[in-house]
Amino acid sequence: MSPVSRDSLISIRLVGVLALAVAALAMFFATPSAHAQALLSKPPADLEAADIVEHRGDSIALDAVFTDQNGNTVKISDYFDGKHPVVLVLGYFTCPVVCPVVFNNTQKVFNDLAWKLGKEYRAVTVSFDYTDTSEMAKDEQSTILGGVTRHTDDDAWPFLTGSADQIQKLCDSVGWKIKRIAKTGDYSHPTGLVVLSPTGEISNYLYGVSYKQRQLRLALVAASDGTVGDVFDKILLRCYHYDPDAGGYVLAASRVMTYSGIATMALLGGTIGMLVLWDHRRARRANARANADALSTSLTSDESQA
């Protein structure tokens, strides 16, 4: 075997150094730093505070006092008439990112509904920032409600502001956990819609920043105890059930199978009934023809004998 040249040894060493460098980089990117691991294992306290604790079936703080977009003092109870379900939208008007998306997507899903806001259902937006003003609420309502194509008037979707204690009272009643970030004045908060009964009980929650028309429609039908919607909506609601883990309505396979079985049996029973009825009528017609033929034969025989 020929001896290894000096140039070859240098090349081998360079390749080895490069391989070690690549391995070190791979380990660096594959393994999070201690700080990153701490963030992954435990989110910052500000983010951890944002949460929703469901209080389904409980009444919201109907006695909480706020100021509407026109500067009038109102109670939350003013917006519950015992007839219309209400969509509660919580956010704040100076939110830099999330709340504008929630407001705009709520407007969008209202436009997707075939129902008229203020006629079949109502909505209320409450700012959880005590520094927001009624003038800001007026501007926000003008923008958001102004984009809803089907609504009765401004009372169909009021925008409210209030003091810190009244805001906390309302948020506590619906399980809305928020935290003001001292450094920026912004809020750490959850996102979603709260669907309320016509008398102010919490019916369901729709989570996230985007909402589907079917989900909201089913939630409103359920919240109204069937007074809103048509027969198809009531049938559809029986095929779905609210899943807190999914944050909305999911298809209930067992119910679908049950109702499909009932429908199949009804169809089968109806078909058999029609066949029996058809066979009965056919037999009657055959008997009638046989009787007529016998009578005709008898008359002919009598005439021949005469």
DSSP one-letter string for 153-197: -GGGS-EEB--HHHHHHHHHHHTEE-EE-TTTS-EE---EEEEE-
Instruction: Please indicate, yes or no, whether residues 101 and 197 belong to a single structural domain of this protein.
Output: yes
End of a domain among 202, 230, 249?
249
In a domain, 4, yes or no: no
Assigned token pair, 112: 């997707």
In a domain, 244, yes or no: yes
pLDDT by residue for the chain (306 residues), tens digit each? 455 455 554 444 544 544 444 444 444 344 444 433 443 344 455 555 689 999 999 999 999 999 999 999 999 999 999 999 999 999 999 999 999 999 999 999 999 999 999 999 999 999 999 999 999 999 999 999 999 999 999 999 999 999 999 999 999 999 999 999 989 999 999 999 999 999 999 999 999 999 999 999 999 999 988 656 444 444 544 555 556 665 565 655 444 445 445 545 556 555 666 666 776 677 677 676 766 666 666 656 655 665
Instruction: Please indicate, yes or no, whether residues 238 and 256 belong to a single structural domain of this protein.
Output: no
Instruction: Please indicate, yes or no, whether residues 173 and 263 belong to a single structural domain of this protein.
Output: no
In a domain, 59, yes or no: yes
Task: In the chain, count H helices and then E strands.
Answer: 9, 13
Q: Are the beta carbons of 68 and 137 closer than 8 angstroms? A: yes
Looking at residue 282, its pLDDT comes to 75
Residue 32: other Cβ atoms inside 10 A: 13
> Residue 244 to residues 46, 61, 219, 247: CA-CA distances in angstroms?
24, 22, 13, 5
Instruction: Please indicate, yes or no, whether residues 258 and 139 belong to a single structural domain of this protein.
Output: no
Q: Where are the beta strands (DSSP E) in the chain?
A: 51-52, 65-67, 73-75, 86-91, 122-127, 159-160, 176-177, 179-180, 187-188, 192-196, 202-207, 240-243, 248-251
Instruction: Please indicate, yes or no, whether residues 103 and 229 belong to a single structural domain of this protein.
Output: yes
In a domain, 303, yes or no: no
In a domain, 26, yes or no: no
Instruction: Please indicate, yes or no, whether residues 61 and 188 belong to a single structural domain of this protein.
Output: yes
Instruction: Please indicate, yes or no, whether residues 238 and 266 belong to a single structural domain of this protein.
Output: no
End of a domain among 249, 267, 299?
249
Instruction: Please indicate, yes or no, whether residues 262 and 175 belong to a single structural domain of this protein.
Output: no
pLDDT digits (tens, 9 = 90+) for 276-287: 677 667 767 767
Instruction: Please indicate, yes or no, whether residues 189 and 262 belong to a single structural domain of this protein.
Output: no
Q: Give the chain's domain count.
A: 2
Q: Are the beta carbons of 193 and 187 closer than 8 angstroms? A: no
Cα–Cα distance for residue pair 154/122, rounded to 1 Å:
11
Residue range(s) defining the domain that contains residue 158: 48-249
Q: Are the beta carbons of 69 and 104 closer than 8 angstroms? A: no
Q: Are the beta carbons of 123 and 105 closer than 8 angstroms? A: no
pTM of the model: 0.66
Which value, in Å, is the radius of gyration of the alpha carbons in the chain? Answer: 35
